Amino acid sequence: MNECDFDNSTPSNVRVVKLSCPEGTPRKNDRALSSSSNDDNDKYQVYACNPCDQEDFAVFNFLGNDSTIHVNHGKCKSIGALKSNRQYKIDYTAYTKTGSDIDDNKITRTDVDLVKVSDINEAESGFDSSDVPDNSRVVELSCPAQMDS
C-alpha cells in the first residue's frame, strides 16, 4: 500500500500491475523532488516578441492551450514552456485592438518556427529580448496593418 501511494480511501479490492522502469529512468525514490526539478519542466520558455511599431494582441493554440496575450511594441511576453529541446512549430493570429473592439487588421500564421533567443540578431529584430532567458524560444509576431491614428 505504501509503495504505490495508496491511502485509506483506496478500495481494498483494487488490483495492481507494477510497471517496469525503462532503462535510464530513475525510480521515484531515486529522483530529487526539489524545486530544481520543477525548473527543468520549464526549461525552455517560449516568448512572443513584437517587432511592430504598435501594440498587438495574439491568439495562440500552443501545446493544446488556447491563450490570448497582449504584447507591447518592441517587447516580449511568455506564452508557456517546452519540456524538451526539440523544434516546435506554432500557429497564431495577431491583431490590433481599439478600446474593446477588435480591428479588422489581422494576420494569421501557421507552422511558424520557434527560434532560439541566442540566434536572434538584436540590431535587426525590432524587439528587446534582453529580458528573455538564454535557453528560451521566441516566436516573432507578424505585424498586422498599421492602425490609422
Q: What pLDDT, on the 0 to 100 scale, is given for residue 76?
A: 92
- Indicate the helix (H) or strand (E) that contains 39: helix 35-41
Q: Is residue 9 part of a domain?
A: no
Mean pLDDT computed over 80-90: 83
Number of domains making up the chain:
1
Beta-strand ranges (E) seen in 10-143 are 44-49, 56-62, 65-71, 76-82, 89-98, 101-113, 115-116, 137-140
**CA distances from residue 85 to 67, 74, 116, 135 in whole angstroms, order as listed:** 22, 26, 10, 9
* pTM given for the model: 0.65
In angstroms, how far is CA 133 from the centroid of its own chain?
13
Is the separation of the CB atoms in 144 and 96 below 8 Å? yes
- Percentage of the chain surpassing pLDDT 90? 11
Q: What is the mean pLDDT of the chain?
A: 76
Lowest mean pLDDT among 26-30, 32-36, 70-74: 32-36
Q: Is residue 108 part of a domain?
A: yes
Q: What pLDDT, on the 0 to 100 scale, is given for residue 27?
A: 53
Q: What pLDDT, on the 0 to 100 scale, is given for residue 44?
A: 86
Mean pLDDT computed over 67-74: 87
